Structure formats: structure tokens, C-alpha cells
Amino acid sequence: MSPQALQGIRVLELGQLIAGPFAGKTLGDFGADVIKIEPPVTGDPLRKWRLCRNGTSVWWEVQSRNKRSVVLDLRTEEGQAAVRQLAAEADVLIENFKPGTMESWGLGWDVLHALNPRLIMLRLSGYGQTGPYASKPGFGILGEAMGGLRHLTGEPGRVPVRTGVSIGDSIAALHGVIGVLLALYHRDARGGTGQMIDVALYESVFNLMESLLPEYDAFGVVRERAGSALPGIAPSNAYRCADESYVLIGGNGDSIFKRLMHAIERPDMAQEAELTHNDGRARHSARIDAAIEAWTSTRPLATVLQVLDAAHVPAGKIYTAADIASDPQYLSREMIVSSTDRHGQPLKVPGIMPKMSATPGAIRQPAPQLGEHTDEVMGQSGWPGASC
């Protein structure tokens, strides 16, 4: 097995469902030894979310790969003492409970930092550890709404819609991973100590909102839902084809736009001075979109893509899970991985990214059964070595 960037890093994951465990999964994919703490009997609720096989969610198989499961009741003194024992030897602790919960268990930052000054504590919550909303329960959908994303998602004049996945939680998790890596560098390369990382879901979403705030501040413009279009950047939209499918076209680069217009047999628009640059095209986006769809609507998707690919215009179809599972690009880059669960049954799961040339990630072991590693972890002195 190739060396991994986080090999030797010991992670204690106390969170459940999505944000905390997604951060733990990402660290585990690159070699960290992740000990997942679960409550007795039920374990992490994600074990029963969405579609299950052999009584366990197939989502769980992705979210908890490269982890070891330890059952502890954090509401008891024994469970809390066990966490302190593990935290004393850990590099990173992840939690995504409601702010104040860890403190009520005697596991707050001050206690753990005093116990292990090298510990890095990642805290993920709806609104952060401070501020007037800190004590409110927060889920991903609320973070997406407060961060500005939900207002922009959907068709004009229609109810705002969700993206179809728990994107607020995952965005927060990735911000948390960035924080952990920064803190590890500060500690190990700069001679620093451990630190606490405070990630709020709404702030993580807000961080991706591009020009949303400065446009409001400078011009009083409240960005609104625009369906499949990208307001102010043209052309960039979904266009109907003759076979009732849709093609996505990003023709908003100046030179790309000219190639696109020639490809759709509108050389007149390619030469129109007003459409030379994006600011002019944005003022005429409806006319440009109409011209593009007049061409795509008379041709099947496959023909549209063939013509636009030949013209070097960014275009593509809208992928379903079935498209993803058989796509040669996904397969060639090992983003579709055939794994085996604890019951010995095969399962295709997403591969690992980013791709690292010297220290690539790997799926070293399948998701654990509830409490599978409790004796292994707790029965040894100190923190046991990573199992591969």
C-alpha cells in the first residue's frame, strides 16, 4: 500500500449523521485512524437512513469506511471517562452535537485541551459555538437557508427547493477538514499547540455565495432564483433537445461564444459587437438563449453534443446515477469503486478524491458493525495502531 498523507494521525469521531462523520470519512480516506464512538443498541442513526441492505443503510457503507466502531454511552460517567482516555492520546476530536452538549458531559474544549494540549478539536454546529443563535438546534436545511443558498435554488416565482442532497452538512464538513489540516500544519510544522475549530453550517454555505453580499451592498440587488440559468453570465443554461432531453451549455467565454454561435449556424451573432463580451451578452441573454434552443430543439442530444464537442464548446448531459455508474470518465479515474461490505456482499461506492500523486487515499476497510472494535480499542493501553 502506498504511503498516505495522514497515516499515524489519530481521530476520535463523536459526531453522528452527516457533518461530523463526513469529515471523519475524508480524513480516514487519506490514512487517519478514525475511531467512531457510537451509542449502545442503535448506533449512529445513519445506519438506518434511506435504503438498507441486510438491515444497514448502503449510505453507511460509504460514510463509515476506514473507521473502527466503539460503543460508549456518553451520558454516563464511564463513557465520558473513556472518551477522556482516548482524547488524551488523540490528534483530532470531531463532534457535531448541539453547542453545550460536550460541556455538559465534561468533555468541553477547556477540559480536553488541558488534558491534551496537542489535541485539535473540530466542532460543527448549525450556528457556531457563540452568538445569539448558538444554542438553537440546527440542521443542514437551516444552514442552507440562512447561508443564502436555498433562496437561490429553484425556478423564479416558485417555492425555493433543496438541492437533492444534504449539501449544507457536507460543505461544513469540508470546511472542517480544511481547518483540521491547517491546525495540524500549525502544530506539527510550526511548533504550535492544538486548537479548537468552530465551523457553523450557515457560515460554510455563506462562504460559497460568491458576489451575493457585495452586490447587495453596492447596488441594493437581492439575487433571486433563476432556474437553470446563471444570471449575469451568458450564455450558461439548460436547453431542450428534440428527444425531450436537456443539454447544458457553458458558452460564456468570449472566444467560446463565437465558436458556439458558428456551431449553431448563427455567424451573425458571433460577429455582433454588442455580444463580444459578457456584459453585453448578459443584457441580451434571453435572445441568445432563444437562438441556442431554436437549434438544440431540432436535434437529439447525441447530435448536439457531437457538434459542440467538435467545436470545443463546453456542453454535457444531465447525469443520473445510472449514467454515472457506467461512464468511462468515472471508471478511468477510479471514482466508481467495487467494494465488499461486512456481509461479503459487493457494493459500488464513490472513489476517493482529490487524487494525490505521492500519497493517494485508499479504502482500507469496510464500514464497521456496531461496536465491532470496542474491545480492540478499549482493551489496550493507550491508542492502538491503525488496522489495515
- Residues 375 and 383: beta-carbon distance below 8 Å: no
Closest CA to 201 of 166, 250, 161, 243: 166
* Upper half-sphere CA count for residue 148 (Cβ side, 13 Å): 15
Cell digits for 385?
495502531
How far apart CA 289 and CA 285 sit, in angstroms, is 6
Which long-range CB contacts under 8 A does 284-290 form with residues at least 24 apart? 284/234, 285/229, 285/234, 285/235, 288/234, 288/235, 289/229, 289/234, 289/235, 289/237, 289/239
Q: What is the DSSP letter of 33?
A: E
Q: Please state whether beta strands 120-125 and 196-200 pair in parallel, antiparallel, or not at all (unpaired).
A: parallel
For residues 83 and 13, the answer to whether their CB atoms sit within 8 Å is no
- Catalytically active residues, by annotation: 169
Residue 315's identity, in one-letter code, is: A
Q: What is the DSSP string of 252-292?
A: -SHHHHHHHHHHTT-HHHHT-GGGSSHHHHHHTHHHHHHHH
In which order are the strands placed within the sheet that holds 246-250?
Answer: 236-240, 246-250, 315-317
- Using a 10 angstrom Cβ sphere, with 0-12 exposed, 13-18 middle and 19 or more buried, the burial of residue 255 is exposed
In the structure, how many helices (H) and strands (E) does the chain have?
18, 13
Rounded to the nearest 10 degrees, how much is the dihedral formed by the CA atoms of 150, 152, 155, 160? 20
Half-sphere exposure (Cβ direction) of 371: Cα atoms closer than 13 Å: 9
